[in-house]
Amino acid sequence: MNQIVLIVVLPLLAAFLVPIVARMSETLGAALGPLVMGVCLWITGTVAIESAGNAFAINIGGFLPPLGITFFVDRLALLFAFLTALLVLLLWPFQGEHRPREHALTLILAAASGGLALSGDLFNIYVFYELVSVASFGLVATGNRSAAPAVRYLILSGFGSVLALVGIALVYTQTGTLNLAHLSQLAPTQLINPIGLAAFALILLGVGVKAELFPVNTWVPEVYATAPNRVSALLAGLVSKLAALVILRLLVLVFAQEQALLVMLLLGLLGVITGELAAWRAQDMNRMLAYSSIGQLGMVFVAFSIPGETGVFAGLAIALHHLVVKPALFLLAARWGGALSGLAGAARGSLSGALLFTLFALSLVGVPPLPGFWAKLLLVMGLAEQVGPLYHFALAGILIATVVEANYLFRIVATLFRRDNPASPAPEKHSGSDIATAGIFGAGLIAAVLLLIPLSQSLKTIAQQTSDADAYRAVVTLVPTPTAPNWRPAAISGDTP
Amino acid sequence: MRNLASLLFAAGLGFLLMVFGLQFDFGNAPMLVGQAIQSAAPDQVGAANIVTSVVLGYRGIDTLGELAILFAASTAVGLILGNRHTSTKQDPDSGVILRAGGELLMPLLLVVGLYIILHGHLTPGGGFQGGVILAAAFFIPVLARPSTHLKHTGMSLIEGFSGAAFILIGLAALYSGGEFLQPLLDKGVIGNLLSAGTLPLLYLAVGLKVGAELAGLLAHLAAAETSES
Amino acid sequence: MNLPSLDVSLDLILYTGAFGLIVIGAAGIVLARHLFRVILALAIAEAGANLLLVLSGYRWDAIAPILMGSESTAPMVDPVPQAMVLTAIVIGVGVQALAVGLAMQVKKTYGTLDMSAIRQRLEADIAGNAGIATTGSQDAPLGERPLPPVDAVPATPGSSTP
């Protein structure tokens, strides 16, 4: 089963070779990327069948953990690896003038996303996270006038990486290891303390840049408003979820302390409130979707702050729902990117687009029986079970945010179907591929309604597996390391404060 | 007003970090993994330089990710600035000293760079350090004669094939029954030039890739600058 | 060697230096008005983080982790942080090069590298593309209303005067 490493390696290999292949044969160069992503999809599928849901670990280079780097493969990792390949394939930049380079960057994004889903080593996660960042800066900058947002995004993200690196250094100073399983073993004695909390806060802020976490999300509206819509779809749909996944893993395994949960709850709640209010106020489609995405990610963080399996279950449900809905909405916004008021009567031009938009909007708000409703229900019930005023405050905040969300989304739907001024020029029609891809997402959403019970059961199993830190430690077999944590000679150690 | 707020923010962050910084005992970092690697590395990897054992052996996939980051950065810069070959022959006379110095330095830097790459598993140095020197060797002539351009075709060929070589060496291990990037070949005697199995090959690939990548990046930036002025 | 107090103060100086660099970088990112200075500040902050990382594995009495011919028994410093710093430095190089490339492109589109001017142009640009009235005055006082976009995007009627 160690061929799962190919989902990281093959896209990288293809990315290195795409510029060369494209110079020899243009069609082969254009076909290489989608082909490799298809192979990744197939590999993930076979590994998922082979492993039958049991978690296993792969030691890169054959070095046993914690000396070497481990890839930890469980249901959640496989699910996200599969979704990565699928989404990249669906949102593949088939059009565009800079093809080979754009393809190379997209492949690198796919490889790094797969790495983020699989990696079980703190510093390795940092490397893949940076790889995702650099690839996404490049992809964002392919937009027409998106150099300025890209550079502002880069600076924020770069500073976030510095903070994350400081957090990693703190963890290493405390424990002397980077393997997540090993850290999880040492955490109760060495990381459940203020320094551990500081390290978590720093890493949270660093990784939170991609996850659109509250104070470090200023890049979101401007980047999504100027980047090509397929790139926005990838960033909002996939990359943000992977960053949230990394935070979830760290929270479950390493920083399982109450204060860490409270920090997440507060930041997530602030994200929900600010995001939804800003979306309500937004006057153009792209920025409205961007702010709404901040709100949705905030809900994911609120859910993850509920301790135990309930929180993981609710958080994953919201994250997966958003992963299906938001890329499709961004695709629909490709031609509807202008002012919201200019969309009056757009349903005349493109009825299928308007109907799809309505479907996604209904699900995003949480109208039963669409999946969005069940995801939100899980969150609300999980919050209601918790004791403590902050959780109930969060519950109220989320319900209010839902009302706000309903208000602005239904306003747009009403605008789309308005008939009063037939004189105004109808907005452009969607390109066929956009509508088709959005249709695939819509079909997925409806299939989720029909298969609700089996889906929720398998998601519950995933949540169970993910929230079980003991099982994680049992899978990764650690070689014993020297037990004396400090061998610094006494003569020199002095009296450090 | 905004500046004051920003200053306060920075001061607050500084205070926070200082408080954290002074809270705990810095000198006493435990060395669990480090110590285990020190005792295991000579047998498992066989490089005299243990940092190299970590970079290419224990944390080999980090290095691959890092190569990919450089590649992504250079690809993105190429994408943003484009291949603008400005044929404006406005070569500012850089003087005989600069030009002669550049010509003298280039072969010297090439030799030093290759030496550092090939001895990466024995002495301080390695693919990254040597690669940077190689990039400098190719870039210094461009600085001395601003009108000359690096050949992008050659650069991108080296870039692609050296990166692919790194991965293919790793895949060879995977398909000979091991794990990805498992050390292959005979480990030899620690301290010999031909030792540590595939490590020198990996470092050669890293060095060439880093050199080509950085030279390409600099060339892109320089070309964009000359086209602007 | 036999003056513990000196070692401790050196420890403190190094760590203060590392945190200081990060703080200087943070202050620069927030305060600097020129984009290139912001990029430099980012580089300074990265240097601080790298220094902190390499310090986490340093030992005063140890040698470099390289096996020399003679079997010396001196303890060696932790090789893992050194490898990590090598990785982090190269990552930093890549990110900075990309930042400079983007800055050149920004200079070409907006003709300026002043951070606040870039932000105003950007606001105006996004609003102009979407065809809505610029609402950039949210946090700028009356005298600092956003500038019009460089390539005058045809404004919708009613957006001429904010």
pLDDT digits (tens, 9 = 90+) for A286-339: 889 999 999 999 999 999 999 888 999 999 999 999 999 999 999 888 877 677
Any chain C CB within 8 A of the CB of B8?
no
For residue A165, which residues of chain C lie inside 8 Å, CB to CB?
A: 46, 49-50, 52-53, 88
pLDDT at A131 over 80: yes
Nearest residue of B to residue A116 by CA position?
B65
Does A56 have pLDDT greater than 70?
Answer: yes
Residues of chain B contacting residue C7, judged by C-beta atoms under 8 Å apart: 27
Task: Answer yes or no: is pLDDT of A160 > 90.
Answer: yes
C74 Cβ under 8 Å from any chain B Cβ: no
- pLDDT score recorded for residue A156: 92
Question: Chains A, B: CB contacts under 8 A, how many?
Answer: 194
Q: Residue B50: which of C31, C66, C94 has the nearest Cβ?
A: C66
Output the pLDDT for position A389: 87
The 3 state secondary structure assigned to chain A is CHHHHHHHHHHHHHHHHHHHHHHHCHHHHHHHHHHHHHHHHHHHHHHHHHHCCCCEEEEHHHCCCCCCCEEEECHHHHHHHHHHHHHHHHCCCCCCCCHHHHHHHHHHHHHHHHHHHHECEHHHHHHHHHHHHHHHHHHHCCCCCCHHHHHHHHHHHHHHHHHHHHHHHHHHHHHCCCEHHHHHHHHHHHCCCHHHHHHHHHHHHHHHCCCCCHHHCCHHHHHHHHCCHHHHHHHHHHHHHHHHHHHHHHHHHCCCCHHHHHHHHHHHHHHHHHHHHHHHHCCEHHHHHHHHHHHHHHHHHHHHCCCCHHHHHHHHHHHHHHHHHHHHHHHHCCCCCCEHHHHCCHHHHCHHHHHHHHHHHHHHHCCCCCHHHHHHHHHHHHHHHCCCHHHHHHHHHHHHHHHHHHHHHHHHHHHHCCCCCCCCCCCCCCCHHHHHHHHHHHHHHHHHHHCHHHHHHHHHHHHHHHCCHHHHHHHCCCCCCCCCCCCCCHHHHCCCC
Do the Cβ atoms of B69 and C94 come within 8 Å?
A: yes
Sign of CA dihedral A183, B68, A11, A107: positive
| pLDDT score of B133 more than 70 | yes
Which residue of C7, C30, C65 is in closest CB contact with B9? C30
Q: Which residues from chain A sit within 8 angstroms of residue B153, using beta carbons?
A: 23
CA–chain centroid gap for A163, Å, is: 20
Inform me whether the C-beta atom of residue A42 falls under 8 Å from chain B C-beta atoms: no
Give the model's pLDDT for residue A278.
Answer: 92
Residue A278 corresponds to which tokens in the numbers above? Answer: 């800003």
Closest residue in chain C to residue B217, using alpha carbons only:
C97
Angle at A128 between CA C122 and CA B222, to 5 degrees: 55
Q: Which of A11, A21, A72, A65 is nearest to A43 (CA)?
A: A11
State the smallest CA–CA distance between residue A337 and chain C in angstroms. 7
Q: Which two tokens stand for residue B21?
A: 């910084």
Size of interface B-C (CB pairs under 8 A): 142
Instruction: Copy the structure tokens of residue B147.
Output: 């009108």
Please report the pLDDT score of residue B92 as a whole number.
67
Rounded to a whole number of angstroms, the distance from the CA of C11 to the nearest CA of chain B is 7
CA of B164: which chain A residue's CA is closest? A13
User: What interface predicted TM-score (ipTM) does this complex get?
Assistant: 0.89
Nearest CA in chain C to B72: C94
% of chain A residues with pLDDT over 70? 94
Touching subunits of C (3+ CB pairs, under 8 Å) are A, B
Chain A residues within an 8 Å CB radius of C57 = 172
Q: Is the pLDDT of residue B150 over 80?
A: no
At residue C142 the predicted structure's pLDDT band, cuts being 50, 70 and 90, is very low
- A58 touching B, CB under 8 A? yes
- What is the reported pLDDT for A39? 93
SS3 C66: strand
Over the stretch A164-203, which tens digit does the pLDDT of each residue have? 999 999 898 888 888 899 898 888 888 888 888 889 999 9
Place of tokens 């949540």: A463
* Residue B94 contacts A, CB cutoff 8 Å: no
- Which site among C102, C107, C114, C134 would you substitute to test the A interface, given the most A Cβ atoms closer than 10 Å to its Cβ? C102
> What share of chain A in percent tops pLDDT 90?
42
Partner residue facing C65 (CB), from B50, B210, B221: B50
Closest-CA residue of chain C to A285: C130
Mean pLDDT computed over A3-30: 88
Query: What does the pLDDT average to over A346-353?
Result: 79
SS3 B130: helix
- Phi, psi (deg, nearest 5) at residue B198: -85, 0
The span from the CA of B116 to the CA of B127, in Å, is 7
Query: Which chain C residue has the Cα nearest residue B78?
Result: C101
Is C53 close to A168, i.e. CB distance below 8 A? yes
Determine the average pLDDT of the residues in B58-73.
91
Cβ contact (<8 Å) for A342 and C45?
no
Q: Which of A155, A162, A492 sits opposite C49 (nearest CB)?
A: A162
- B111 or B140: which carries more pLDDT confidence? B111
CA distance C95 to B160: 20
User: What's the mean per-residue pLDDT of chain C?
Assistant: 75
Half-sphere exposure at residue C63, Cβ-oriented, CA atoms within 13 angstroms? 11
Q: B177 falls in which pLDDT band (50, 70, 90)?
A: confident
pLDDT at residue number C155 = 40
pLDDT at position C159 over 60 = no
pLDDT of residue A496: 39
Mutate to test the interface with A, among B19, B20, B158, B174 (most CBs of A within 10 A): B20
Q: What is the mean pLDDT of residues B89-103?
A: 76
- Residues in chain A with CB shorter than 8 Å from the CB of C90 are none
Tens-digit pLDDT profile for residues A383-440 = 988 888 889 899 999 999 999 999 999 988 888 887 766 555 556 667 778 888 888 9
Which residue of B16, B39, B77, B133 is the best one to mutate when testing the C interface, meaning the one whose CB has the most C CBs within 10 A? B77
CA distance A42 to chain B (A): 18
Give the pLDDT of residue C162: 36
How many Cα atoms within 13 Å fall on the side-chain side of residue A12?
Answer: 33
pLDDT band for position A123 (cuts 50, 70, 90):
very high
pLDDT at B25 over 60: no
Amino acid at the residue A313: F
- Contact partners, residue B155, CB within 8 Å, separation at least 6: B212, B215, B216, B219
Average pLDDT over residues C105-119: 87
Confidence label for C76 from pLDDT (cuts 50, 70 and 90): confident
Searching chain A, which residue's CA lies closest to the CA of residue B36?
A481
Q: How confident is the model at residue C111 (pLDDT cuts 50, 70, 90)?
A: confident
**Confidence (pLDDT) at C161:** 38
**A15, B71: Cβ pair inside 8 Å?**
yes
